[in-house]
Chain A
Amino acid sequence: MTELRELARRLLSEGTVNAVLGWEEGPRGARPAFVTTPDGADRLIFDPRCVHDLASYLSPRRPHLKKLGKVAVVLKPCDARAVAGLIRETQIPRENVVLVGVRCGGVLADPESTAPLSETTVADRCRGCPDREAKLADHVVGTAGAGFPGPSRRAQKIEELAAMPVDRRWDFWQAELSKCVRCHACRQVCPLCFCERCMADKSLPRWIESSPHARGNIAWHITRAMHLAGRCVDCGECERVCPEGIPLGLITRKIAQVVSDRYDFRPSDDPAVPAPVGTYRMDDPQEFIL
């Protein structure tokens, strides 16, 4: 933590950056923080409560960041994959951001929790996560725990669902998706959902019915999953912010598995690796096409 604060102080006092995006102590656990003065660097923290993906603040959809100019952002390995995605898709110039990687051994499922990090309190997505630090980062600070072994409960649930008959799966998803209130928090928090005008907001034609009922909900969640195919970095924010507790991670993980199995692509923090959707190979498998 001292290392992180000293680095932030140095970056700010030397004028390398105008702001550091990190986490601070809030009234309800850790929360994102914008530090703009060298003295403010002492506010910064990093511990397992720092679950938020700060890469979503770099998204060009958030114009307030432009006013700050060059910024530094503190990143867990999963967040660095999101930054790599933004660079890959030419949304942010690499030279405009200073990336501060923090070594990470997993975070809590709940940023408001005061429980110590353990096998029961760890975020499910951290189970089996192989990354302890971001290779993309300009600076890497801190020490990491050993991480947690997989498989995640989500992976088990995906297998369980896959084994169900198709109509039972439909019932499961209808029960989940019917809870959706279409607040679009999953979209707003997503670091890779950066369209200035979302398809879900278009009214001529109205592709996705906007009122929260089952037919519009499934159309929205299919569209969201398709648009994140091969792009989702599994930061888990969509599922965390969902006010209805819909297991959105199951869908994004399922698609990530498909993309990994079929096209040998896993989200990496190397922006030079091409995205699987938008590129192709002549010999892609096509067993389902007659």
Chain B
Amino acid sequence: MDSATPAAAGGFEPRITAFVCNWCTYTGADLAGTSRLQMASNVRIIRLPCTGRIDPMFMIKAFERGADGVIVSGCHPADCHYNAGNYHARRRFAIFRELIQFLGIDTGRITFSWVSASEGAKWRDIVNDTVTRVRGLGPFTAYRKLVVDPATVPAAKVTSKEVPA
């Protein structure tokens, strides 16, 4: 399992944020852990009540805070604890994915999946595949460069005290 082994010293290790639903994928990821499945350790999981709670803004925020990739995962269709949260989310994710693709973000950085509470092995594969793929894409420097560098902001020439009355 190549993706589960740490890259050579100095190699790029992607930071992946996972937004998962409490009822299926979080439990599935928990199962992967209790089953001692070996997987890449690059993923930080954020547990939410439902995929319906996952606002596309979360993914933008993850990129803003330095994530190189994002995983979004929840209950399979017809399995939602709240009946329809994942159906609503599916439409939003579809539109969001096309939108960011249009704005020039590589959709390879975002994985959408359905992982049920019993699919620990599928979670492992999702994690490993995503880490391998994002490692291939490299660090998301394009997004990180959007940060304002204070050094490039010209200093104000007139302070408020100097403004004539």
Contact = CB atoms under 8 A, between A and B. Distances in A.
Interface string A186-217: 00000000000001000000011001011100
Given A166-B106, A258-B95, A280 B126 contact: no
A167 B145 CA distance: 14
Given A219-B64, A280-B88, A288-B112, A169 B93 contact: no
SS of A interface (majority): helix
Given A170-B103, A173-B104, A277 B95 contact: yes
B102 A169 contact: yes
A17 B88 CA distance: 40
Interface in A154-206: 158, 161-162, 166-174, 199
Nearest to B126: A290
Given A215-B64, A223-B57, A276 B103 contact: no
B141 to A, nearest CB: 11
A255 B99 contact: yes
Given A219-B60, A280-B87, A285 B104 contact: no
A141 interface: no
Nearest to A281: B87
Interface in A270-290: 276-278, 280-282, 284-286, 288-290
User: A interface, how many residues as a size bin?
Assistant: 35 or more
A140 interface: no
A251 B90 contact: no
Contacts of B147: 215
B92 interface: yes
Residue among B77, B95, B103, B106 facing the most chain A CB atoms (10 A cut-off): B103
Interface of B: 56-57, 60-61, 64, 77-78, 84, 87-88, 90-107, 111-114, 126, 142-143, 146-148
22 contacts: A161-B102, A166-B104, A173-B103, A174-B104, A207-B57, A207-B61, A213-B146, A218-B103, A219-B60, A222-B100, A225-B99, A226-B96, A254-B99, A255-B98, A258-B95, A262-B91, A262-B94, A284-B87, A286-B90, A288-B107, A289-B112, A290-B114
